[in-house]
């Protein structure tokens, strides 16, 4: 019995320490975002003497964060929506009609989870499709990169949706499109929300695609704006910190509100309880 208590103490302490390690870098950024330039030059844990909320307005102005925020929001939101629509339609057809061809197509599609993008040749493709340096182009790329994993998750979920629903729909005279949109898609909602949040977060955090395929600062998403800002203001850690906070705040809010879904999404398809 004593042994058990000791174990509990050790475990509680250990996890406390690890949690602290996990949160310290984030706290560090929060504290320094409110300091003056001089105070923040040492990026320490000392609390600011006075809280400089004006750092945030400075950053929004100098870093052109307003633009970038709207860009990121549009890129992530629109690409995630289309991703869900197309992925779930594909997953639905692939899961219901398990012909040999469809099995092959499913593997072919989810192999995309592993494939590295070829950034060089993709430029040519972007030029042919006239999507190079366009907002539409980046949205399409974001959507495409999320499709394989989304199909994988939705395929697993649709496997658990009873086929009787389809039969009922057919008896009521639905065609495939109506069957999908008015019967199946509503049932998919929990999985769809998960996939949406995951796709949204992944694309919000993405950095390489705009680095390669968007050359005008007007069109940059948050990540690229932050990177550029960091390059310009490396010495002013207070501003860099404020900039970082404004970038990750939306992500953290989405995470805290949606953590149930996110965690379910991370684990679905992988573990069947």
Partner 1 sequence: MTRRMYPFYFIAIALAFYVVFTVVPSLMGIYLSFTDWNSYVKTIRFIGLDNYSTIFSSDENYMHGIRNTVVFTVATIVLKTIIGLLLALMVNKGIRLKSFHRVILFMPSVIPMLVVGIIFKSIYDPQYGLINETLRAVGLSSWTQHWLTDIQWAFKSVIAVDVWKGAGYIMVILLAGLQAISHSYYEAADIDGAGVWKKLRYITLPLLMPSLTVTTVLNLLYGLKIFDTVYVLTNGGPGYATDVVYTQVFSQFSLGSYGVGTALITVLFVIMTILGFFAIKLMSREEQG
- Least separation in angstroms between residue 207's CB and partner 1 is 5
Which one, 74 or 140, has the nearer CB to partner 1?
140
Complex with partner 1: residue 55 or 87, whichever CB lies closer: 87
Q: Which of 160, 141, 147 is nearest to 87 (CA)?
A: 147
| CB closer to partner 1, 65 vs 90 | 90
Q: Provide the minimum distance between the beta carbon of 53 and partner 1 in the complex, in angstroms, as a whole number.
A: 21
* CA–CA separation, 261 and 192 (whole Å): 10
Q: Could you tell me the smallest distance in angstroms from the CB atom of residue 217 to partner 1?
A: 16
Q: Which is nearer to partner 1, 37 or 156 (CB)?
A: 156
Q: For residues 122 and 161, which CB has a smaller minimum distance to partner 1 in the complex?
A: 122
Report the nearest approach of partner 1 to the CB of residue 64 (Å): 17
Phi, psi of 52 (to 5 degrees): -95, 90
- Closest separation between CB of residue 106 and partner 1, Å? 9
Shortest distance in whole angstroms from residue 89 CB to partner 1:
4
Q: How far apart are CA 110 and CA 153, in angstroms?
A: 10
Provide, rounded to whole angstroms, the least separation between the CB of residue 98 and partner 1. 9
Least separation in angstroms between residue 14's CB and partner 1 is 7
Task: Output 50 or 116, the one with its CB closest to partner 1.
Answer: 116
SS (H, E, C) the chain: CHHHHHHHHHHHHHHHHHHHHHHHHHHHHHHHCCCCHHHHCCCCCCCCCCCCCHHHHHHHHHCCHHHHHHHHHHHHHHHHHHHHHHHHHHHHHHHHCCCHHHHHHHHHHHHHHCCCCCHHHHHHHHHHCCCCCCHHHHHHHHHHHHHHHHHHHHHHHHCCCCCHHHHHHHHCCCCHHHHHHHHHHHHCHHHHHHHHHHHHHHHHHCCHHHHHHCCCHHHCCHHHHHHHHHHHCCCCHHHHHHHHHHHHHHHHHHHHHHHHHHHHHHHCCCCCC
* Listed residue (159, 160, 167) closest to 183, CA to CA: 167
Instruction: CB nearer to partner 1: give 69 or 212.
Output: 212
By beta-carbon proximity to partner 1, the closer residue of 49 and 103 is 103
């Amino acid at each position: 019995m004593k042994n058990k208590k000791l174990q509990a103490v050790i475990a509680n302490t250990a996890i406390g320490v690890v949690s602290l390690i996990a949160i310290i870098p984030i706290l560090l950024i929060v504290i320094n975002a409110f300091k003056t330039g001089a105070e923040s030059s040492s990026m320490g844990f000392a609390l600011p003497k006075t809280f400089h909320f004006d750092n945030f307005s400075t950053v929004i102005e100098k870093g052109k964060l307003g633009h970038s925020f709207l860009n990121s929001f549009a890129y992530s939101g629109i690409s995630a929506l289309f991703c869900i629509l197309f992925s779930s339609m594909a997953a639905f057809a692939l899961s219901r009609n398990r012909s040999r061809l469809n099995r092959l197509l499913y593997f072919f599609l989810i192999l995309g989870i592993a494939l590295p993008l070829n950034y060089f040749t993709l430029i040519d493709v972007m030029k042919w499709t006239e999507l190079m340096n366009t907002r539409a182009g980046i949205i399409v790329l974001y959507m495409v990169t999320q499709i394989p994993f989304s199909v994988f998750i939705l395929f697993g979920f649709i496997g658990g949706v009873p086929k009787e629903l389809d039969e009922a729909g057919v008896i009521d005279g639905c065609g495939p499109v109506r069957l999908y949109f008015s019967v199946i898609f509503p049932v998919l909602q929990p999985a769809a929300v998960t996939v949406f949040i995951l796709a949204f977060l992944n694309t919000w955090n993405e950095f390489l695609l705009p680095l390669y395929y968007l050359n005008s600062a007007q069109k940059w998403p948050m990540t690229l704006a932050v990177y550029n800002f960091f390059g310009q203001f490396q010495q002013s850690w207070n501003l860099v910190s404020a900039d970082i906070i404004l970038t990750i705040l939306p992500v953290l809010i989405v995470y805290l509100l949606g953590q149930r879904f996110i965690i379910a999404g991370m684990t679905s398809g992988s573990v069947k309880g």
